[in-house]
Amino acid sequence: MNSASKDKKHKWIKAVAKSFSYAAEGLVSSAKTERNLKIHLAVMPLIAACGFIFSISKAEWLIVIIVIGGMIALELMNTAVERVVDLVTDQYHPLAKQAKDIAAAAVLVYAITAILIGVIIFLPKIIASMGL
């Protein structure tokens, strides 16, 4: 590999590392300040524990992981929308309200979907473990 290729690869690695650093900063910042994200992050280990306790299948684990990741990602997007709206205007505007409400609605729809998926995966296992 020649010197120019090494420099290009090194710059690319630094750029990727910087991108990951910014993303981690956003996640940590949001986890410290956003109530709903704190709730989702607190529930994650409980769901994982249920997965181990009830010995969910590999396919069920994949679904649970995708749902949890999607929930966290959507909550972060909602937070980003709120921040951008707040940056653009500090005064009430119907479009600003709509933007925030629509982003929050997306989170709500996904949360309801996540709960339904959780019920479908875990309820039969809970019932079976109770001998019903």
Query: Which residues fall in the annotated binding site for ATP?
Result: 22, 34, 82, 100-101
Catalytic residue check, 75? yes
Can you give the pLDDT at residue 1? 63
Contacts 24+ apart (CB under 8 A), 69-72: 70/110, 70/114, 71/40, 71/107, 71/110, 71/111, 71/114, 72/37, 72/40, 72/41
Given 68, 75, 76, 79, which residue is catalytic? 75
pLDDT in tens, 96-119: 999 999 999 999 999 999 999 999
For the entire predicted model, the pTM comes to: 0.86
Residues annotated within a binding site: 22, 34, 75, 82, 100-101
Pair of tokens at residue 118: 């959780």
